[in-house]
Amino acid sequence: MNSTVIVDRVLNIAHRGARSLAPENTLSAARKGLEVGADMWELDVQLTADGELIVIHDSTLKRTSNAEDVFPYRRPWQVHEFTLDEIRKLDFGSWFMEQDPFGQIAAGVVTDKDLQSYMGEPAPTLEQALLLTRQHNWSVNVEIKDLRNKPGNNLIVDQVIALVEKLDMVDMVLVSSFNHKYLAQSAASYPHVVTGVLDTKPHGRPASLLRRLGARTYHPRKIFIRPADIPRLKRQGFRVYIRTINDRKTMERLARAGVDGIFTDFPQVLASIVTSYGRAKA
């Protein structure tokens, strides 16, 4: 989901690294999302111990890597306590094959060839993820993880945007965060960068929140937004992207409600809905 909706589609597709088809926050997941027709992918970025921007969702390495086996004495395996070189020694793919978190391996959706390719999958740096995005003339939502009370809290916004600017990708990147101070900092220092608001609770006046933070997009959970707020926000020049929707019926209802985009772990499902809506509108 970028700042321009594709003209011949009802809504844009975003995905969280096609998590149902490949290990989350990996380049393989990004490629899968691109393959099935997603308009944008979403990733999570944080800092390593040596200040490198790394794409990992959790604050620890335990769930999505073999850090327990490789570094058995480094409990609880906090990301910010490991250098980039140490993280590069880890396998971020095999857990997906073992756990089949969305049941798509058992359903036969994920091929044996794909599974073999996921073995030893590394966690990408943000630069690697951005370069893949640029290579395909694609878009990416970079969610900056909340590092308050951790090293790099005061640096990560500047580092992320400096990299985006260095790669000349401002028009391809949407920056979001649950840490609203990061969004305000970005708006104050980099008003040309599009930002999106994530929140852990409903907000009674989302437009006021967006204006205060200088943000242009709103990314609530479905239960956090009233249906009437969607057209109201759009009339005021904001975009509404709902997270995280994985069932077809809800996707269809949101499309009819006029949302600009949907975050999903199943971009292959949403892509089919967008295509059918496009035909209906033609």
pLDDT at 53: 98
In angstroms, the CA 33 to CA 150 distance is: 32
Q: Using CA atoms in the order 78, 126, 86, 116, what is the torsion angle rounded to 10 degrees?
A: 100
The 3-state secondary structure of 43-93 reads EEEEECCCCCEEECCCCECCCCCCHHHHCCCCCCCEHHHCCHHHHCCCCCC
Whether omega for the bond prior to residue 151 falls within 30 degrees of 0, making it cis, is no
Highest-confidence range of 90-94, 148-152, 271-275, by mean pLDDT?
90-94
pLDDT tens for residues 65-118? 999 999 999 999 999 999 999 999 999 999 999 999 999 999 999 999 999 999
Measured CA to CA, the distance from residue 94 to residue 67 in angstroms comes to 12
Q: Give 80's contacts (C-beta < 8 A, 6+ positions apart).
A: 46, 47, 48, 49, 59, 147, 150, 151, 152
Residue with token string 């969607």: 230
Domains of the chain, each with CATH number or no CATH: 12-59+124-281 (3.20.20.190)
- Quick one: pLDDT at residue 275? 79
Q: Please state which of the ranges 39-53, 73-87, 114-128, 268-282 shows the lowest mean pLDDT.
A: 268-282
Record the pTM: 0.93
CB 59 within 8 A of CB 83: no
pLDDT at 122 over 70: yes
Looking at the annotation, which residues are catalytic? Answer: 15, 57
* 3-class secondary structure, 114: helix
The pLDDT value given to residue 274: 84
